[in-house]
Amino acid sequence: MASWGEASESRLIGKRIPRLSGKDKVTGKAKYTFDINRPGMLYGRILRSEVAHANVVDLDLSEAEAMPGVKAVLPLVEVGRKIRYQGQEIAAVAAETDDIARDAIRRIRVDLEELPSVVTEADAMAENAPQIREDWVGNQSAPNVREEGDINAGFEQAAVEVEATYHAPVQTHVCLETHGHVAEWEDDENLTVWASTQGVFGVRNDLAGRFNLPANQVRVITEHMGGGFGSKFGPGVEGRTAADLARTTGRPVKLMLTRKAEHLVAGNRPSMTQHVRAGATSDGRIIAYDMKGYGTGGISSGAGFQAPYVYHVPNVRAERRNVTVNVGNQRAMRAPGHPQGAFAMDSLMDELAEKLGMNPLEFRRINDPSEVRQAQYTLGAQEIGWHRRNSVPGSGTSVKKHGIGVGSGQWGGGGGDGTQARVTINADGTVEAVTGTQDIGTGIRTAIAIIVAEELGLNPTDITVKVGDSGPGLPSGGSGGSQTTASVAPVIKTAAAAAKQKLFQRVAPQLEAPVEDLRVGNRTIYVVSDRTKTIKWELATGQLGMESISEGGHWDRELRQGGVAGTQFAEVEIDTETGAISVIKIVAVQDCGLAINRLTTESQINGGVIMGLGQALLEERFMDAQTGRMLNANLEDYKVPGTFEIPEIKSIVFDTHRKVTGVGEPPCIPTPGAIANAVYNAIGVRIRSLPITPDKILTALAEKKA
Amino acid sequence: MEKFSYVNATSLEQVTTLLSDSRWGEVMLIAGGTDLLAELKEYIETPKTLINLKTLPGMEGIKADAAGLTIGALTTVADIAKHPTIRHHYTVLAEAAGSVATPQIRNVGTLGGNLCQRPRCWYYRDEATSCLKKGGDICFAVDGLSKYHAILGGDPVYIVHPSDLAPALIALGASVKIVGPEGEKTMSLEDFFTLPAANPFRENVLQPNEIVVEVQVPPAKPNTKSFYLKAREKGAPDFALASVAGVFEMNGTTCVSTSIVLGGVAPAPWRSKEAEAALTGKMINETVSRQAGSDAVKDAQPLNDNAYKVTLTQNLVSRAAMMAAS
């Protein structure tokens, strides 16, 4: 049975190994799509609607077309069709310089007949609201209802009840590199696209379909990319437009989204509002859970969230609706549906525990079916110093108050079939690993090098890893669902093992030993039963001559496993006079299976915590009902964590088995709940709406006082 | 941004001549550009000509002597923040300068630009929104989203003045030297700023053909403590939700004289004579400082989303007073 071996046998796997591309990234040598410049390249720009809802009455491109330096102007909406959200594409320009392109889109004349719009959930659900989707009544989907057990019987057994409304607003992804592409046609039938994408083959297949080309005549390259978080799986309108403009002009075209467009049209995490009534028995079991909730993911909506979450509840009624609004659509965002659900559930848990007079951690221990999290509670509580929490929330007379809270999460991961890879050993001793995955930023390039180096007795820096290119025709899936490492690692390992086997077969006769007796380590192949029989790596490979060894692998299910649990503890300090919230420390205990590279796994957890902290304390999309526009489509008023906000983060890689699982998404899930509970523990007032900002703290404290 | 011609300034006379025939927004001045460039890129301003002031001789630098401080309009925010005399004797100014934006912006942003910067209001900064400040009919903050808007002096435009340096300098009793076609004039910095009731389109009395060249600060009185307290949602960069510049002449715990200026809560830096009166001549304790805080906001008229600023401002004023007494 295939295995990654024991930890004691691993020379590299599970150790802390610096990211191979780290130096290139910090020195600026790494080339992102934004950095790609091709000979004769034009710059693309898209004119977008500033109106949320309108009929397109007329579109006149002539003035833009006539501008010197403008090479193409393409309509992206038809006269007679509707604009349904701010940011919707109207027309695109390709020009000799970015400045000309920017000027040119302003010369496009579009005549819009404005229609009544709704941009907030409250307005969409209001009586007599304009109907913006013909197939939904009251701008809401039919409810999705989940029932388990009998909630009425459950509430009869309840000793305490909590009824509360929890809310999380829409968040946007804020990829540091905005969405974008450079498209170049070699001839009418061969297209190369540099894409900032988390799915090289997804972009390839989409564009091949659009231009009716064999898939192998479209090459997509993503050497490095600046964040996707679920929003960059396909080329989108902007990628298809870049390719269209390049085809029309016969020249390469670069088209990157502006920061504003990135907020408006490149996806978002749907909002969540849930009204919950829940009950617990006197011995501390949650017994009934009744939830009515809704959320919006924009014009097409798709606003799911997890409710209830993680903890065992025997009697459940959960009703969710999607609300449609005249705003750009949601896209998958790091652990879709989980962080907002976890925030509400973990807040509810603490509220129930308080009514019972129980320690919230004890209450979780009773209700949490996960053995992994049970162990994590113990470890995390120790690390944060759980005993230091306010035994009476909000107690104390000092201006600055401390609190500690806990939150939980879970995720799947575990990878999937569909990756092809080749590991090649060349006569000069060099080794190359190639596959069509992409490094979304999590360090798969380094993980591949580690796996191959471990197998071949080399160092990670000895391995040339080629990813982020569909050219070699070795497909791999998109980097989503925390699946990349668990999808890729087994294939790489089996490919490296096969290549090693081939090399062993080559040198076995010389070493006068059967292949199964050969081992490799320290750049030397040796016979395990007689260590005097050796051959240096370069001498062995030198015999290959023109015949490199090149082997594929397969997705061996035994090497991976799905399902992770996580727990986080937060300590906060709140200035009760200014409402300022400082997170002092986060302890993140993250179950993750086998960490191929412990260092980048810790980085993943750090990144997840920071993203969760942003959702907890800062991030909110503000939609203005008067204008139908987003008021903070920038990074001034859409606030993301900076160095001042980032606390001490204790990331604990909690490895429970030696199979690869994946940990991209889960570390952002428990953070908002843990912080919200810490805030309550500090000030004794519960903030049930994210983000927890100074205005909410001050308002809540004032209400408590009154 | 729209195309414009770019002129390197050689003298103040040349600058005022270039300005003299223009209307607002036709000819504009650029120094650090940290505010103006964003306005140009977002088409909030579309000048025909930009005059680069960085080439003007003698408008940069800090002079500290018995007469107080003289700070050239081209002096960078960073230079003000790190100046030893300012740090020591005009602490409120050093603290305010140090709280501005980010190191990169402080390194290029200038004193003159900081005082003359335009509002950060999210309706004003949206090209597609024609608000009252830009010649439209309404201030959208009144019925809209007003978390970051004014609680004092707003009517009819509820922007807040974003400058950190202005409240600090006004609290220090600064005056500003302005050059125009008729020569130079000096006025108190407090009078330099105006409220929208007087002029909804501008935040100060500067005419289109005038330029701020210098700020003068009187000598620091002995036994003076001063502080700049700035509340914000994020460490940096972030504008103030509310700020308090307080200068306190103390005799033990008794406040001999004080000036208190609020930032982030009104369309102009907001001198709180009420808070000053509550403290002057008093021995500062918890009760007195609380009274000063509530007096500072007694005329506040919050909008839908910014009532928290009333509490916040009140608490910041009290805190500054208590710091003076400790």
Residue B285 lies in a domain: yes
Q: Find the DSSP H helices in A468-620.
A: 484-511, 537-542, 598-617
CATH number at residue A537: 3.30.365.10
The closest of A488, A504, A509 to A456, measured between CA atoms, is A504
Same domain, A335 and A386: yes
Tell me the C-alpha distance between B210 and B57, whole Å.
17
Tell me the C-alpha distance between B245 and A219, whole Å.
60
Q: What is the pLDDT of residue B49?
A: 96
CB < 8 Å to A629, chain B: 126, 128-129
Please report the residues numbered 33 through 72 in chain A whose beta carbons come closer than 8 angstroms to any beta carbon of chain B.
50
Q: What is the pLDDT of residue B18?
A: 94
- Choose the weakest-confidence range: A288-292, A299-303, A698-702, B257-261: A299-303
Residue B247 lies in a domain: yes
Residue A147 lies in a domain: no
pLDDT (tens digit, 9 = 90+) per residue, A463-473? 999 999 999 99
CA dihedral over A430, A431, A437, A442, signed as positive or negative: negative
The closest of B268, B255, B122 to B206, measured between CA atoms, is B268
Residue B87 lies in a domain: no
pLDDT (tens digit, 9 = 90+) per residue, A417-454? 999 999 999 999 999 999 999 999 999 999 999 999 99
Lookup: tokens for A526: 């040796």
On the question of a cis peptide bond just before residue B218, with omega within 30 degrees of 0, the verdict is no
DSSP lists the bridge partners of residue B8 as: B52
Q: State mean pLDDT over B295-312.
A: 98
The closest of A451, A442, A383, A489 to A601, measured between CA atoms, is A442
Q: Which residue has the tokens 């609680």?
A: B151
**Percent of chain A residues past pLDDT 70, beyond the cut:** 100
CB < 8 Å to B236, chain A: 642, 644
Residue A146 lies in a domain: no
Structural domain tally of chain A? 3
Q: Which residue has the tokens 């490094």?
A: A439
Q: Answer yes or no: are the C-beta atoms of B211 and B12 closer than 8 Å.
A: yes
Among B126, B149, B238, B286, pick the best mutation site for testing chain A contact (most A Cβ within 10 A): B126
Q: Answer yes or no: are the C-beta atoms of A636 and A645 closer than 8 Å.
A: no
Residue B256 lies in a domain: yes
Range of the domain at B294: 224-325
Would strands A524-527 and A431-435 be described as parallel, antiparallel, or unpaired?
Answer: unpaired
Write the CA distances from A464 to A308, A444, B318, integer angstroms: 46, 13, 63
Residue A152 lies in a domain: no
Tell me the C-alpha distance between A465 and A472, whole Å.
13
Same domain, A202 and A53: yes
> Which of A524, A559, A594 is the C-terminal boundary of a domain?
A559
Q: Answer yes or no: are the C-beta atoms of A423 and A499 closer than 8 Å.
A: yes
The nearest CA of chain A is from the CA of B186 a distance in Å of 35
Residue B212 lies in a domain: no
Contact A642 B147 (CB under 8 A): no
pTM flag (> 0.95): yes
Question: Over 70: is that where the pLDDT of A1 sits?
Answer: no
A501 by Cβ neighbours in 10 Å (0-12 / 13-18 / 19+) ranks as middle
Question: Over 90: is that where the pLDDT of A518 sits?
Answer: yes
Contact B148 A624 (CB under 8 A): no
Helix (H) or strand (E) holding B88, with range, is helix B84-89
What value does the mean pLDDT of chain B take?
97
Please report the residues numbered 372 through 411 in chain A whose beta carbons come closer than 8 angstroms to any beta carbon of chain B.
none
The closest of A676, A257, A196, A259 to A439, measured between CA atoms, is A196
Q: Answer yes or no: are the C-beta atoms of A630 and B128 closer than 8 Å.
A: no
Does residue A642 sit at the B interface (CB-CB below 8 Å)?
A: yes
> Which of A527, A559, A591 is the C-terminal boundary of a domain?
A559
DSSP A161-201: EEEEEEEE--EE---SSPSEEEEEEEETTEEEEEE--S-HH
- Provide the edge-to-edge strand list for the sheet that holds A109-114: A82-83, A54-60, A109-114
Asked whether the ipTM of the predicted complex exceeds the cut of 0.95, the reply is yes
Contact B140 A627 (CB under 8 A): yes
CA B296 to chain CA mean position, Å = 18
Q: State mean pLDDT over A559-583.
A: 97
Structural domain tally of chain B? 1
Q: State mean pLDDT over B19-48.
A: 94
Q: Answer yes or no: are the C-beta atoms of A177 and A227 closer than 8 Å.
A: yes
Helices (H) and strands (E) in chain B, counts: 12, 12
**What 3-state DSSP class applies to B43?**
coil
Write the CA distances from A427 to A441, A503, A702, integer angstroms: 32, 11, 75
Q: State mean pLDDT over A559-579.
A: 97
Question: Over 90: is that where the pLDDT of B142 sits?
Answer: yes
DSSP A318-359: EEEEEE--SSPPP---SSTTHHHHHHHHHHHHHHHHHHHT--
Q: What is the pLDDT of residue A682?
A: 98
Lookup: tokens for B136: 């439209």
Lookup: tokens for B28: 């504009």
Same domain, A459 and A575: no
**Who's near A375: CB < 8 A, 6+ residues apart?**
A654
In terms of phi and psi (left: phi > 0; alpha: psi -120 to 50; beta: otherwise), the region of A101 is alpha
Same domain, A424 and A505: yes
Same domain, A573 and A677: yes
Tell me the C-alpha distance between A640 and A645, whole Å.
9
CA dihedral over A164, A170, A175, A180, signed as positive or negative: positive
pLDDT (tens digit, 9 = 90+) per residue, A344-357? 999 999 999 999 99
> Which of A559, A574, A606 is the C-terminal boundary of a domain?
A559
CA B321 to chain CA mean position, Å = 21
Range of the domain at A49: 33-115+179-256
Q: What is the pLDDT of residue A396?
A: 86
Write the CA distances from A581 to A125, A572, A617, B109, integer angstroms: 33, 7, 8, 29
Q: How confident is the model at residue B200 (pLDDT cuts 50, 70, 90)?
A: very high
Residue A627: which of B120, B129, B319 has the nearest Cβ?
Answer: B129
Would strands A42-48 and A253-256 be described as parallel, antiparallel, or unpaired?
Answer: parallel
Residue A370 lies in a domain: yes
Tell me the C-alpha distance between B160 and A502, whole Å.
73
Q: What is the pLDDT of residue A687?
A: 98
Tell me the C-alpha distance between A179 and B309, whole Å.
37
Same domain, A211 and A279: no
Among B46, B230, B234, B286, pick the best mutation site for testing chain A contact (most A Cβ within 10 A): B234
Residue A139 lies in a domain: no
Residue B202 lies in a domain: no
- Provide the edge-to-edge strand list for the sheet that holds A400-411: A400-411, A564-575, A581-591, A648-654
Same domain, A375 and A434: no
Tell me the C-alpha distance between A604 and A191, whole Å.
34
DSSP A482-493: T-HHHHHHHHHH
Residue B234: which of A103, A624, A639 has the nearest Cβ?
Answer: A639
Lookup: tokens for A379: 């470890």
DSSP A264-308: HHS-EEPPEEEEEEEEE-TTS-EEEEEEEEEEE-SSS------SS
Same domain, A634 and A700: yes
Lookup: tokens for A286: 């949650």
Residue B231: which of A641, A643, A694 has the nearest Cβ?
Answer: A694
SS (H, E, C) A44-90: EEEEECCCCCEEEEEEECHHHHCCCCEEEEEECCCCCCEECCCCCEE
Lookup: tokens for A109: 């004349």
DSSP lists the bridge partners of residue B251 as: B254
Residue A626: which of B120, B144, B312 has the nearest Cβ?
Answer: B144
DSSP lists the bridge partners of residue A591 as: A654
Does residue A7 sit at the B interface (CB-CB below 8 Å)?
A: no
CATH number at residue B276: 3.30.390.50
**Who's near A511: CB < 8 A, 6+ residues apart?**
A518, A525, A526, A527, A533, A534, A535
Helices A338-356 and A671-683, interaxial angle, to 10°?
30
The chain B residue lying nearest A623, using CA atoms, is B145
User: Residues A75, A80, A84, A90: what is their CA dihedral angle, to the nearest 10 degrees?
Assistant: 10
Same domain, A486 and A593: no
Tell me the C-alpha distance between A19 and A667, whole Å.
20
Residue B251 lies in a domain: yes
On the question of a cis peptide bond just before residue A509, with omega within 30 degrees of 0, the verdict is no
For residue B124, give the DSSP letter. Answer: T
Contact A579 B120 (CB under 8 A): no
Same domain, A183 and A287: no
Q: What is the pLDDT of residue A706?
A: 86
The nearest CA of chain B is from the CA of A193 a distance in Å of 29
Residue A24 lies in a domain: yes
In chain B, helix, strand, coil percent, each to 5? Answer: 30, 25, 45
Q: Answer yes or no: are the C-beta atoms of B160 and B264 closer than 8 Å.
A: yes
Same domain, A426 and A549: yes
Same domain, A529 and A598: no
Residue A142 lies in a domain: no
Q: Answer yes or no: are the C-beta atoms of B78 and B102 closer than 8 Å.
A: no
Q: Which residue has the tokens 């108190």?
A: B188
Residue A694 lies in a domain: yes
Question: Over 90: is that where the pLDDT of A133 sits?
Answer: no
Helices A200-210 and A236-249, interaxial angle, to 10°?
50
For residue B241, give the DSSP letter. Answer: S
* Residue B52, number of CB atoms within 10 A of its CB: 14
Residue B84 lies in a domain: no
pLDDT (tens digit, 9 = 90+) per residue, A70-90? 999 999 999 999 999 999 999
